[in-house]
Amino acid sequence: MALIVQKFGGTSVANTERIFNVADIVTKTAAAGNQVVVVVSAQGDTTDDFIEKAGEITSNPPAREMDVLLSAGEQISMALLAMAIEKLGFRATSLTGWQAGIRTDLNYGSARIHKVKPERIQSLLDRNRIVIVAGFQGINSHDSITTLGRGGSDTTAVAIAAALHADLCQIYTDVDGVYTADPRIVPGAKKLDEITFDEMLELATLGAQVLHNRSVEMAKKYNVDLEVVSSLTRNPGTKVKEVTSVEKMIISGVACDKDTARVTVCGLPDEPGKAFRVFSLLAKNKINIDIILQTSSNQPGTKQDISFTVATASREAAVKILEENKDRLHFDSVTSQDGLAKVSIVGSGMVSNPGVAAKMFEALSDAHVNILMIATSEIKISVVIDIADSGRALRAVHDKFFE
Amino acid sequence: MALIVQKFGGTSVANTERIFNVADIVTKTAAAGNQVVVVVSAQGDTTDDFIEKAGEITSNPPAREMDVLLSAGEQISMALLAMAIEKLGFRATSLTGWQAGIRTDLNYGSARIHKVKPERIQSLLDRNRIVIVAGFQGINSHDSITTLGRGGSDTTAVAIAAALHADLCQIYTDVDGVYTADPRIVPGAKKLDEITFDEMLELATLGAQVLHNRSVEMAKKYNVDLEVVSSLTRNPGTKVKEVTSVEKMIISGVACDKDTARVTVCGLPDEPGKAFRVFSLLAKNKINIDIILQTSSNQPGTKQDISFTVATASREAAVKILEENKDRLHFDSVTSQDGLAKVSIVGSGMVSNPGVAAKMFEALSDAHVNILMIATSEIKISVVIDIADSGRALRAVHDKFFE
């Protein structure tokens, strides 16, 4: 007998037919002799409907009350799912976030889970109940309802799995796993059977569609075995683990982020603290930086350039802030460019396999793709290229490693 | 400074415009220097929508999960109202049933309030918050959500008013008070400024549209001053109190119940226990009896008749059950008749005013209404008549006392 946490997103419970599909998955898991905790999101468009209702009242709803409103969504879906499971002849009990012991910090709208007090869930499991828990919500130290922000239900599922020492946490979605590349762009993309937590985190642009980073970080921290499965096909999905067991492919996936702009600060004085001053200024203005590159200078004392990438929407603001502080930062000029894309390969195998970068650059060269920036980490290599080349680049790199 | 509890029903918060109307009433009350606790029902058709959703899943939803589902309705409306109140520049905090300390018994779907722990509401009031509480819901000793059944939000409001020792509990509805008769039938019907709890309870058929009996019973028990007010006109409504202060009208209202059938059991032996046997049999079969009349016999030992009234839908069942037990009950025959109406006058003033019954009968006689049955209590006189006469009877009796 295993203890399995199964999470279902909003599209999986969007209507009566799909609710019964979920009930079927859950009850088959229980009938196979497992204890099951189910985490559900709000049905389909419920959250959007609520946001619209609030928007009719005020353009600036108080965050606490927004969470009271939004959390009603999972309360609806969890009750309906419990009814469907009971209809199939199993015993089910639904619990809101506070009933399930999901304690969070005070940040309405984007709370983080402090701890899970699993006693009530455990006691229901001990009495042979299937337990359904509202995803995305918890309760803070004021006994007020909070919501967890984007990817919240995945995080709820992983947190409960960690607290209950579950054998497996299954994330059911409408895709059937994590692929080596986006199948809409790369026709030859393959489903991965396994991937490590670190690879999954680096593959954020692929993974965001199926698993939110917060949940992967938490799974890594508490070593919770995750599985991404399709609630429609029910085929074996992708397992996300600390260490993958099979003989490793060198890389796990190829990702492409098309929302990339480059900003270059030219002619900075070569002195300690110049990078700190530039990036603390940008951070203070809430501009998220992705890649940072600094050209090394051959001659000490000469001026230097620093380039970085930001989301396209942040480019103008970044340039404006830098220019307003030109005198204080002592640089010569700022240039910027949007319409760029970042193509990355990710794989823990590359640590022990030299020549991975060269192989990637060869693929890009063969495909006549010009590289504007290169950045590497231990398990990732990213290149910034023209967005017009991105599809061709993605396919070329993918085929080089996976064909 | 007074502490006022204001309750608003589902039609009062049905859309954004009406929510702002409620927010206006509430904030004006607060701006006048009062502490305000607001109790809200679910918006307009929300509850019906939820019942329909559950009906698509199962014809027999588990009661616990039905309460989880339904209670989401007030959570939505209370959050929206809090947003509207904050938009008007006041501080508001919404509380679900459990957050507001509404503890109930275990009966899902029709729970009764055990007690209210008012500490959290009180502490928010002390910090100058307008407190909004979800009506109709509470939490039981298993920490599971319950709903209170029909009239539940009125009961929540009165229970909170009692626990907080509020100065007044206002029930806002779409009518502007309690009338001396149904204004749709009696054009001259007058709005009552005041009425006693007992009169309100006896006037159930009038009062059910504006105040549920459970809330009136609770208000009487804890001596909570109630007021029925229109959320649309905002005119002074009707106050419901233990003792009404002004020089009393003899009667407070005239009510008519058109759903009345009469059943007569003829030729029962004149021996102890015959009434018990008849009515325990009917009670066992869930038939609700209203008026019971037994003709007195002049000669001991002769047979007797017992008549009673039931709702029209129960007549056939009552007759069938009695006839199936004819031998055991030793009566001669059962007769029955539907198409009847019960007209009642109610007034605590009639205790000290002889001749009230005679005055009522005179009115009916002048209007050529034949009386089939008469039943009296301390503050009520009811007559059963042909339904075809009911409108004429109601107007005649009303005009006799109020014109």
If you write DSSP's letter for every residue of A181-207 in order, what string do you get?
S-TTT-TT--B-SEEEHHHHHHTHHHH
Q: Residue B296: its pLDDT value, please?
A: 66
Q: Is A47 helix (H, G, I), strand (E, B) or coil?
A: helix
Do residue A54 and residue B83 have CB atoms under 8 angstroms apart?
Answer: yes
How far apart CA A189 and CA A395 sit, in angstroms, is 9
Do residue A76 and residue B144 have CB atoms under 8 angstroms apart?
Answer: no
Task: Determine the average pLDDT of the residues in B345-364.
Answer: 83
B232–chain A nearest CA distance, Å: 19
Q: Regarding predicted confidence, which is higher, B151 or B61? A: B61
Q: Which two tokens stand for residue B289?
A: 């009896």
Average pLDDT value over all residues in chain B: 90
Q: Residue A246: its pLDDT value, please?
A: 55
Handedness of CA A112, A117, A120, A122 (dihedral sign): positive
Q: Which two tokens stand for residue B308?
A: 């009673």
Q: At what angle do helices B63-87 and A63-87 cross, to 10 degrees?
A: 160
Model confidence over A33-91: pLDDT tens digits?
999 999 999 998 899 999 999 999 999 999 999 999 999 999 999 999 999 999 999 99
Q: Residue A301: its pLDDT value, please?
A: 67
Residues of B in contact with A75 (CB under 8 A): 68-69, 71-72, 75
Q: Residue A53: its pLDDT value, please?
A: 96
Q: Residue A264: its pLDDT value, please?
A: 92
Nearest to A58 among B64, B71, B87 (CB): B87
Report residue B299's pLDDT band, with 50, 70 and 90 as the boundaries. low
Do residue A93 and residue B58 have CB atoms under 8 angstroms apart?
Answer: no
Query: ipTM higher than 0.85?
Result: no
B395 pLDDT higher than 70: yes
Model confidence over B266-283: pLDDT tens digits?
988 877 777 888 888 888
Report residue A294's pLDDT band, with 50, 70 and 90 as the boundaries. confident
Count the neighbouring beta carbons within 10 Å of the beta carbon of residue B313: 11
Interface test with B, best of A13, A83, A143 (most B CBs within 10 A): A83
A233 pLDDT higher than 90: no
Count the neighbouring beta carbons within 10 Å of the beta carbon of residue A312: 15
Average pLDDT value over all residues in chain A: 90
**What residue in A sits closest to B90 (Cα-Cα)?**
A62
B349 pLDDT higher than 70: yes
**What residue in B sits closest to A18 (Cα-Cα)?**
B57
| DSSP result, B85-103 | HHHTT--EEEE-TTTTTEE
Do residue B76 and residue A65 have CB atoms under 8 angstroms apart?
Answer: no
How far apart CA B177 and CA B174 sit, in angstroms, is 9
How far apart CA B18 and CA B11 sit, in angstroms, is 8
Burial of A371 (0-12, 13-18, 19+ CB in 10 A): middle
**Residue B391 exposure: Cα atoms within 13 Å on the Cβ side:** 6
Report residue A229's pLDDT band, with 50, 70 and 90 as the boundaries. very high
Do residue A68 and residue B94 have CB atoms under 8 angstroms apart?
Answer: yes
Task: Determine the average pLDDT of the residues in B25-52.
Answer: 96
Measuring CA to CA, which residue among B274, B398, B283, B263 is closest to residue B344? B398
A162 pLDDT higher than 90: yes
How far apart CA B189 and CA A377 sit, in angstroms, is 84
Phi/psi at A202 (nearest 5 deg)? -70, -30
User: Is A126 touching B (CB cutoff 8 A)?
Assistant: no
Do residue A69 and residue B79 have CB atoms under 8 angstroms apart?
Answer: yes
Task: Determine the average pLDDT of the residues in B321-345.
Answer: 92
Model confidence over A339-398: pLDDT tens digits?
999 999 988 777 777 788 888 999 999 999 998 888 888 788 889 999 999 999 999 999
Residues of B in contact with A58 (CB under 8 A): 83-84, 86-87
A168 pLDDT higher than 60: yes
User: Is A84 touching B (CB cutoff 8 A)?
Assistant: yes
Nearest to A83 among B57, B94, B143 (CB): B57
Task: Determine the average pLDDT of the residues in B188-204.
Answer: 86
Q: Regarding predicted confidence, which is higher, B272 or A147? A: A147
Q: Residue A49: its pLDDT value, please?
A: 95
Do residue A68 and residue B78 have CB atoms under 8 angstroms apart?
Answer: yes
Measuring CA to CA, which residue among B108, B105, B216 is closest to residue B157? B216
User: Is B17 touching A (CB cutoff 8 A)?
Assistant: no
Strands A194-196 and A238-241: parallel
Percent of chain B predicted with pLDDT > 70: 95
B247 pLDDT higher than 70: no
In B117-227, where does DSSP find H-type helix? 119-126, 152-163, 197-202, 204-207, 213-222
Q: Residue B75: its pLDDT value, please?
A: 98
B206 pLDDT higher than 70: no
Percent of chain A predicted with pLDDT > 70: 96
A63–chain B nearest CA distance, Å: 9
A149 pLDDT higher than 90: no
A250 pLDDT higher than 80: no
**Residue A378 exposure: Cα atoms within 13 Å on the Cβ side:** 6
Q: Residue B384: its pLDDT value, please?
A: 92
Task: Determine the average pLDDT of the residues in B4-20.
Answer: 95
Count the neighbouring beta carbons within 10 Å of the beta carbon of residue A228: 25
Interface test with B, best of A21, A80, A85 (most B CBs within 10 A): A80
Handedness of CA A184, A190, A193, A197 (dihedral sign): negative
Amino acid occupying residue A226? L
B43 pLDDT higher than 80: yes
In A164-308, where does DSSP find H-type helix? 197-202, 204-207, 213-222, 274-284
Task: Determine the average pLDDT of the residues in B213-228.
Answer: 91
Report residue B403's pLDDT band, with 50, 70 and 90 as the boundaries. confident
Q: Regarding predicted confidence, which is higher, A148 or A233? A: A148
Count the neighbouring beta carbons within 10 Å of the beta carbon of residue A359: 18
**What residue in A sits closest to B124 (Cα-Cα)?**
A142
Do residue A57 and residue B83 have CB atoms under 8 angstroms apart?
Answer: yes
Q: Regarding predicted confidence, which is higher, B173 or B386? A: B386
How far apart CA B264 and CA B319 sit, in angstroms, is 9
Q: Residue B287: its pLDDT value, please?
A: 87
B208 pLDDT higher than 60: no
A215–chain B nearest CA distance, Å: 27
